[in-house]
Amino acid sequence: MTSIWFIAIIASLLSLAHLGLGFAIGLWARREPSEAGDARQMEIKRAKQLLECLRELTGAMTAEVEEHREQLATLSEQLERMEEGDDSPLTHLVIEVVSDIMRSNQQLKDRLTSAEMQLEQQTAEIESSLTRAMTDPLTGLYNRRALDDDLERRIACWQRKNTAVSVVLLDIDHFKRLNDTYGHAAGDKVLRQVANVLKATFRAMDLVTRFGGEEFAVILPETANEHAWAAAEKSIKAVRDARFTYEDHVIRVTISGGVATAMQGEFAEDLMKRADAALYASKDAGRDQGFYHNGESAVPIAENVELRETARATIESGNVANGPQAAGQSVELDAACAALRERVEHLASNDN
């Protein structure tokens, strides 16, 4: 009797689990297209987690059924040995019942094994769907959805722990003209090549994404100001120096960049707007360069990197703090040092 209850309970659990899974997936599948987005991605993740839990449960059930089957087999052997010296109807009845239980047990084990295989397949399918939903099919980079999810998480971390995060927006210069001149197939190849250059240029911890069209976005975790500028400048130079070809044509490709580092009280949308403003400033200034947004306006990266290097050298020599001391120095040099000192203080205040 205990064995029958054991099998019935396991079968009921499995049926309820599959019913719950079917109901959850059914709700997700019937969602309106307009409801797609972050909520839908969350449902996919939850469905995947549910499948994994069910697979683990099924595996545990299979192990228990196997152990139960072995115990029944041992009992059956003992009864068969008893039968040799006992021809009573009760003994035959017990043996018949045990045999029926063993057959039911084997059927349940087969069902559990089949269910486990189905769950593994469904888990793999959901994992594949989730990957496709977060990946740009042309370049293989993460897409806008992945960017939004990761940036929200990074901004939340910045607000809680003051962990710096920066965003770099990069746009291929004159991409429409490239498409018009060489065709869309050439444009697609250039997009893939630029994606490869960016992946090779940025760190493994950085999230490189295709933001849309010919625009790319990169999240730089634990990175602020100068380090973010340097990363943007490095990527711009890497694309400038790369060799792009299509059929027999060598195509000159450059990109423009906009950089912004998260500031206090800022949300993901605010950070992206500042990076976008910096990108437009780099386009307006002639392209093939980078600008960063300091919270008030967009400023050329190269100019400020050069100025900071000069400032550091001046500070290390002591000339900014002490002013010109050598005899015969001109008033113009005095004024230049004062201007440099003022500029250094301004840059330092922007960092804080």
Give the pLDDT of the chain (352 residues) as one tens digit per residue. Answer: 444 444 454 555 555 454 444 544 444 444 444 344 455 556 556 666 666 666 565 666 666 666 666 666 666 665 566 555 556 665 666 666 667 666 766 777 777 777 777 767 766 766 666 667 789 999 999 999 999 999 999 999 999 999 999 999 999 999 999 999 999 999 999 999 999 999 999 999 999 999 999 999 999 999 999 999 999 999 999 999 999 999 999 999 999 999 999 999 899 999 999 999 999 999 999 999 999 999 999 999 987 655 555 545 554 565 433 433 333 344 444 555 555 555 555 554 554 4
Q: How far apart are CA 299 and CA 258, in angstroms?
A: 10
Contact 165, 277 (CB under 8 A): no
Q: What are phi and psi of 265, to 5 degrees?
A: 80, 10
Rounded (10°) angle between helices 2-29 and 89-133: 20
Q: How far apart are CA 262 and CA 162, in angstroms?
A: 10
Residue 306: CB atoms within 10 Å: 11
**Side-chain half-sphere exposure of 285, counting CA atoms within 13 A:** 21
* pLDDT computed for residue 120 by the predictor: 74
Give the H or E element holding residue 300: strand 298-300
* pLDDT computed for residue 237 by the predictor: 96
* pLDDT computed for residue 153 by the predictor: 94
CA-nearest of 270, 296, 276, 298 to 285 is 298
- For the chain, the C-alpha Rg in angstroms (whole number) is 33
Domain 144-299 CATH (choose: 3.40.50.300, 3.30.420.40, 3.30.70.270, 3.40.190.10): 3.30.70.270
DSSP, res 208: E
323 to 190, 240, 250, 299: CA distances (angstroms): 52, 41, 53, 28
Helix, strand, or coil here: 174?
coil
Beta bridge mates, 292: 259, 299
Residue type present at position 195: A
Q: Is 214 a catalytic residue?
A: yes
Residue with token string 């397949």: 121
Which of these is catalytic: 32, 64, 116, 214? 214
* pLDDT computed for residue 298 by the predictor: 96
* pLDDT computed for residue 87 by the predictor: 60
* 100 token code pair: 């029926």
Q: What is the DSSP string of 218-260?
A: EEEET--HHHHHHHHHHHHHHHHHS-EEETTEEE---EEEEEE
Burial class from Cβ neighbours inside 10 Å (0-12, 13-18, 19+) for residue 12 reads exposed
* pLDDT computed for residue 107 by the predictor: 72
Q: What is the DSSP string of 58-111?
A: HHHHHHHHHHHHHHHHHHHHHHHHHHTT---HHHHHHHHHHHHHHHHHHHHHHH
DSSP, res 35: G
Q: What are phi and psi of 143, to 5 degrees?
A: -105, -170
Residue boundaries of the structural domains of the chain: 2-133, 144-299, 318-351
Helix, strand, or coil here: 172?
strand
